Amino acid sequence: MSGKHIRVDYLARVEGEAALDVRVRDGSITSLQLNVFEPPRFFQGFLVGRKYDEVPGIVSRICGICPVSHQLTSIMAIEDAMGVKVSRQTRDLRKLFALSQYIQSHALHIYLLAAPDFLGYESVLSMVPDHLQVVARALKLKRLGNDLTTLIGGREVHPVTAVVGGFTAIPSRADLLSIRERLVKAKADGLATIELIASLSLPDFQWDTEHVALTADGEYAVNAGRLLSNKGLDIPVWEYRGHIKEKHVPHSHALHSYIEGRGSFLVGPLARVNLNMARMMPEARQAAMDSGVFPSLNPFHSALARAVELVHSIEESILLIDRLEPVEEERDYVIQAGEGFAITEAPRGILYHSYRINDQGVVEAADIVSPTAHNVHNMEQDLWRFVPTVLDLPEEEATLKCEMVIRNYDPCFSCSAHFLKMKVDRG
Amino acid sequence: MKAKPRIAIYKMSSCAGCQLEFLNLEPVLLDVVGALDFSYFVMARRGNLPGPYDIGFVEGAITCGEEIEKLKQARKDCKMLVALGTCACYGGLPSIKNWVPQRVVEGLVYSDLSAIHSTKAYSIDQYVEVDAFLKGCPVNKDELVEFIKGALLGIRPYLRPHSVCVECKLHENVCLFTSKGEVCMGPVTTAGCGALCPSNAKACDGCRGPANDANTESLAHAFLAHGLHKNDIIRKFRKFAGLTPEFSKGVEVV
């Protein structure tokens, strides 16, 4: 009987390079490989021998879309290693900095990378004639996120001010207040985004995978917290390596993450909203509750979770700005040897950095696991279960649906290579 | 009406930050999309079209055999080929590994090296002829727009030949090297960033590569005379553009 071959040589509208190859014979999958062919750049290798104060600038270049996450996570891991304490102002500015990137990255993914699939276009470029207002809203939100990142970091891609101990330069109160006005207005655009995503019809697809996210008391965890899952994981960040392992699979440059004794897991907006909805800001929480969707085990609900987080990020940015009156602060610390760990919630999920530093401040070992690296194994697991549901569809449509399964994760394959390529062979 | 120029955007070993700068042109993005036909842009579209193209922008360093092949094909397909950002211009940050044996670096990331076949990281002009170099990590958006306008009008864009020091002085910043003894690469690095780092009280990292007539030997001597540690100086020269003759000279001196 007939076989099928679903094959995508170079997955579009994701960051980085991956391919999918699925072979089906007599209605069952004979092989399924998500191949991250993004060439590895060996950051963990060449960080060894560099000075601690170079690390944030170097790891930033792992990813052009979430540089803030890599910078902040490395900084906090190094501070952990050297016993550096920072001020409340620094913690607030760091959170605002991280949220600015949520606004930019989520607007980029929702509108430019994911929405064309749902609305039936090959790209946002082709949406312009029919949906000019939607595109204009997207660009406005994305620009707002970028401008907030620039206000704090000096530049949107690879910002420069965040360092161990704090910031080299801080935004003025006047500039914060002026962007606050734009944030207040943007809330309506955020809510319109939720409305748009909630109106889409999504595949009814779910399975009982483990969802993992940071969680913290009294706030929606972004830069600090404990690691929590819906299946009983509850650990401080420094115990990460005792529970979460990686294996090298031959078909991919991305290492596959798994939880010791269990298996693949999902990180990102869906896991976060599922686990931490009660700690979201009021309008975002209300919208999440009104949707009636969360908690959800359907990975296609990631887009809605992202939209809800967009509103949350706008709301919390306003809250942070209201209590910030930035003053120049001394960055006072001594370089000392140690090993440090940090996990943050990057836009795509938990990001782990750890460093061992010697008494000269030189890096002796680096360990980095990106959100997409955490998710790749789970993407394959999704596909093993999803592909059989689309086998009756025409090849082109089945392939698009499989791509959407991967795009649900907003994958960043540059971050994960160590990391993804799709081909489905049904022949 | 003349047909819109067909654009291709290629990704090699990179963070995608430079191609993202196209999408970060929000205030003028719709104008840019109106003026250019992005025929091949995998990060932004699914319906990518085959060449030939008028302008190809290449992002990233070349770190494996497949990329050399892809680059050579890009050269054949594009009338004008542009190095987009420091990785494509100079090898960029991935070139830091070039001074450690390749297998040693690989062994620090992967346990099984049988499927890994990486080379040292090189700029694209090591393999093909390149028509223009847009420097920066990431590429500067104003320069990118200026370049696009120039290409549309058929005129040479103004890409800065002088050093970051000039822009820093125009900002009236206090010199980080003479006042704080920091290893600042401003005197030898190509301008165009508006002296972003020093204006934010941070020493220049040399991310835009050597300026015209950069006197790196003299700067390295000045660093040494100032009592700066040899290793700190070497790390600065061997960061974004360590393979260039200019920055290599800075290393030789110390």
Domain tally, chain B: 2
Domain assignment of residue B132, yes or no: yes
Chain A from 339 to 358: CB within 8 A of any B CB: none
Residues A45, B205: C-beta atoms closer than 8 Å: no
What is the pLDDT at residue A2? 62
Contact between residue A421 and residue A375 where contact means Cβ atoms under 8 Å apart: no
Looking at the structure, tell me whether residues B71 and B169 fall in a common domain: no
Chain A from 252 to 291: CB within 8 A of any B CB: 253, 255
Nearest Cα neighbor of B203 from B235, B244, B156, B227 is B235
Looking at the structure, tell me whether residues B228 and B103 fall in a common domain: no
Residues B100, A125: C-beta atoms closer than 8 Å: no
Residues of B in contact with A110 (CB under 8 A): none
Query: Does residue A188 sit at the B interface (CB-CB below 8 Å)?
Result: no
Minimum distance, in Å, between the CA of residue A139 and any CA atom of chain B: 6
What is the pLDDT at residue A18? 87
Q: Is the pLDDT at A421 greater than 70, yes or no? A: no
Q: Is the pLDDT at A427 greater than 70, yes or no? A: no
CA dist., res. B61 & res. B91, Å (int): 5
Query: Does residue A182 sit at the B interface (CB-CB below 8 Å)?
Result: no
Query: Does residue A160 sit at the B interface (CB-CB below 8 Å)?
Result: yes
* Nearest residue on chain A to B196, alpha-carbon basis: A154
Structural domain ending residue among the three candidates B153, B176, B197: B153
pTM of the model: 0.95
The DSSP call for residue A40 is: P
Domain assignment of residue B171, yes or no: yes
- Among B44, B105, B111, select the one facing A112 at the smallest CB separation: B44
Q: Is the peptide bond before B50 cis (omega within 30 degrees of 0)?
A: no
Minimum distance, in Å, between the CA of residue A275 and any CA atom of chain B: 30
Domain assignment of residue B29, yes or no: yes
- Among B16, B105, B111, select the one facing A46 at the smallest CB separation: B105
> Which residues, 6+ apart, have CB-to-CB distance to A194 below 8 Å?
A287, A291, A304, A307, A308, A310, A311
Tell me the HSE value of A233 on the side-chain side, using a 13 A CA sphere: 28
CA dist., res. B54 & res. B25, Å (int): 21
Nearest Cα neighbor of A325 from A93, A148, A145, A151 is A93
Looking at the structure, tell me whether residues B183 and B146 fall in a common domain: no
Which residues are paired to B218 by β-bridges? none
Provide the 10 A C-beta neighbour count for residue B208. 29
Judging by beta carbons within 10 Å of its beta carbon (0-12, 13-18, 19+), is residue A138 exposed, middle or buried? buried
pLDDT tens digit sequence for B189-210: 999 999 999 999 999 999 999 9
pLDDT average, residue stretch A32-60:
91
Domain assignment of residue B81, yes or no: yes
pLDDT tens digit sequence for B120-162: 999 999 999 999 999 999 999 999 999 999 999 999 988 888 9
Tell me the HSE value of A390 on the side-chain side, using a 13 A CA sphere: 26
Domain assignment of residue B212, yes or no: yes
CA dihedral (B140, B146, B151, B154) in degrees, to 10, reads: -150
User: Testing the interface with A: which of B10, B11, B15, B99 to mutate, by most A Cβ within 10 A?
Assistant: B15
Reading the block at residue A15, the tokens are 């960051």
CA dist., res. B204 & res. A265, Å (int): 41
Looking at the structure, tell me whether residues B145 and B176 fall in a common domain: no
Helix and strand totals (H; E) in chain B: 12, 5
What is the pLDDT at residue A114? 93
pLDDT tens digit sequence for A74-104: 999 999 999 999 999 999 999 999 999 999 9
Contact between residue B215 and residue B253 where contact means Cβ atoms under 8 Å apart: no
Looking at the structure, tell me whether residues B34 and B115 fall in a common domain: yes
Q: Is the pLDDT at A14 greater than 90, yes or no? A: no
Domain assignment of residue B159, yes or no: no
Query: Does residue A331 sit at the B interface (CB-CB below 8 Å)?
Result: no
- Among B29, B200, B239, select the one facing A161 at the smallest CB separation: B200
Query: Does residue A168 sit at the B interface (CB-CB below 8 Å)?
Result: yes
Task: Measure CA of the first residue to CA of the last residue in chain B; give whole Å.
Answer: 59
pLDDT tens digit sequence for A101-120: 999 999 999 999 999 999 99
Looking at the structure, tell me whether residues B245 and B185 fall in a common domain: yes
Q: How far, CA to CA in Å, does A62 sit from each of A255, A389, B92, B94, B123? A: 16, 36, 12, 10, 18
Helix and strand totals (H; E) in chain A: 15, 15
- Among A63, A160, A418, select the one facing B196 at the smallest CB separation: A160
Residues of A in contact with B48 (CB under 8 A): 12
pLDDT average, residue stretch A198-217:
95
Structural domain ending residue among the three candidates B153, B180, B195: B153
Minimum distance, in Å, between the CA of residue B23 and any CA atom of chain A: 9
Mean pLDDT of chain A: 93
Tell the residue number behind the tokens 């404990």, with chain if given. Answer: A226
Looking at the structure, tell me whether residues B122 and B59 fall in a common domain: yes
Residues of B in contact with A136 (CB under 8 A): 30
Domain assignment of residue B1, yes or no: no
Provide the 10 A C-beta neighbour count for residue A230. 18
Task: Measure CA of the first residue to CA of the last residue in chain A; give whole Å.
Answer: 10
Residues B109, A40: C-beta atoms closer than 8 Å: yes
* Nearest residue on chain B to A63, alpha-carbon basis: B15
Which residues are paired to A34 by β-bridges? A20, A422
User: pLDDT band at residue B50, thresholds of 50, 70 and 90?
Assistant: very high
Residues of B in contact with A123 (CB under 8 A): 41, 44-47
Residues B118, A40: C-beta atoms closer than 8 Å: yes
- Among B16, B104, B107, select the one facing A414 at the smallest CB separation: B16
Mean pLDDT of chain B: 93
Q: So what's the ipTM on this one? A: 0.95
What is the pLDDT at residue A370? 92
Chain A from 7 to 26: CB within 8 A of any B CB: 10, 12-17
Reading the block at residue B171, the tokens are 């900002």
Max CA distance (Å), chain A: 73
User: pLDDT band at residue B230, thresholds of 50, 70 and 90?
Assistant: very high
| Domain of residue B240, residue span | 164-253
Looking at the structure, tell me whether residues B119 and B147 fall in a common domain: yes
User: pLDDT band at residue A254, thresholds of 50, 70 and 90?
Assistant: confident
Domain assignment of residue B158, yes or no: no
Q: Which residue has the higher pLDDT, A7 or A223?
A: A223
Residues A157, B21: C-beta atoms closer than 8 Å: yes
- Among A13, A46, A154, select the one facing B200 at the smallest CB separation: A154
Looking at the structure, tell me whether residues B143 and B170 fall in a common domain: no
Q: Is the pLDDT at A422 greater than 60, yes or no? A: no
Residues of A in contact with B115 (CB under 8 A): 248, 250, 253
Looking at the structure, tell me whether residues B143 and B179 fall in a common domain: no
Looking at the structure, tell me whether residues B136 and B18 fall in a common domain: yes
pLDDT tens digit sequence for A279-305: 999 999 999 999 999 999 999 999 999
Query: Does residue A249 sit at the B interface (CB-CB below 8 Å)?
Result: no
* Nearest residue on chain B to A126, alpha-carbon basis: B45
Task: Identify the CATH number of the domain in which residue B72 sits.
Answer: 3.40.50.700
Looking at the structure, tell me whether residues B126 and B212 fall in a common domain: no
Residues A128, B115: C-beta atoms closer than 8 Å: no
Structural domain ending residue among the three candidates B153, B183, B206: B153
At B253, phi and psi to the nearest 5?
-60, -40
At A288, phi and psi to the nearest 5?
-65, -40
Provide the 10 A C-beta neighbour count for residue A204. 8
Q: What strands, in cross-sheet order, belong to the sheet with A226-229?
A: A234-235, A226-229, A210-215, A265-266
